[in-house]
Amino acid sequence: MSGAGRNERCSCGSGRKLKRCCGPLLDDPVGLANEHSAVGARVQAWAFETYPEEMKAGLEELLGGRTGVVVGDADAQLAGTWVLSDRELPGGGTIAQRYARRLDLPSSERDIAERIADARLGLLRVISFKPGRGIELHDLTRSELVSVISHDLSRSVRPGDVVVGRVMAGPPAPSVWGPVAFVTRRTGQMLSDILKARMVELDVRDQPLGLAVAMHAASREITSLFLPALRNQPTAHQAA
């Protein structure tokens, strides 16, 4: 998804040529997704070991006190990502942020963990796609165009689709992190109502990044909106 020549310097800042640095990862979307997913799995395992009560409390918050709800895999993906990346812990910081601060992590693991922790919920419109390779997106949350690596989601989208998901910064290039949810006419109206209310509450309607601020502040309500266990549609799709 990069237009840089193979002999140009890599955009990651290493000083090396693209072909000898991040170029191979750009050519292997599946390998890149697996590398990111492996770190994400270790973050989650550490979270259940270190913060079991917070993980449980986060799910209960998303379910809004409902009992007898059958939680499926798609619910677990959406809920787990919110609890790890958005839910503030007592004393500050999210679980993902605290994992990334561990002193025993190798530098490569810390780099990916930090980028996972920084990936915020966004509203993304599909412009074009290359199946198995990547997607050109309009990030409506930040009013910018972004080209992302994706071997999986790129096979499921069509131009004009709008999804709620997270874009993780590179290197080697931005990618879609975690599950995404497709916005339908019904959920789109509900999402619009949630965001408008938060923008008014936070007085950010006239700010350039007001929508991004509202998305982050309303991440719990937005995640609950798209939980398949609470609503028949839409279902979550694990992106990569």
Residue 192 three-state SS: helix
Q: Is the pLDDT of residue 213 over 70?
A: yes
What pLDDT score was predicted for residue 26? 66
Sign of CA dihedral 33, 38, 41, 46: negative
* Rounded Cα gap, residues 75 and 88, in angstroms: 20
Of 11, 20, 80, residue with least CA distance to 238: 80
Q: Is the pLDDT of residue 24 over 90?
A: no
Q: Is the pLDDT of residue 17 over 80?
A: no
Report the alpha-carbon angle 141-137-188, nearest 5. Answer: 55
Report the alpha-carbon angle 38-82-175, nearest 5. Answer: 50
At how many degrees (to 10) do helices 52-63 and 73-85 cross?
110
In this structure, what are the phi and psi dihedrals at residue 139, rounded to the nearest 5 degrees? -80, 100
Q: Is the pLDDT of residue 209 over 80?
A: yes
Torsion of CA 128, 134, 140, 144, to 10 degrees: -100
Per-residue pLDDT tens over the stretch 149-196: 999 999 999 999 999 999 999 888 899 999 999 999 999 999 999 999
Of 42, 31, 52, residue with least CA distance to 105: 42
Share of the chain above pLDDT 90, in %: 74
Q: Is the pLDDT of residue 106 over 90?
A: yes
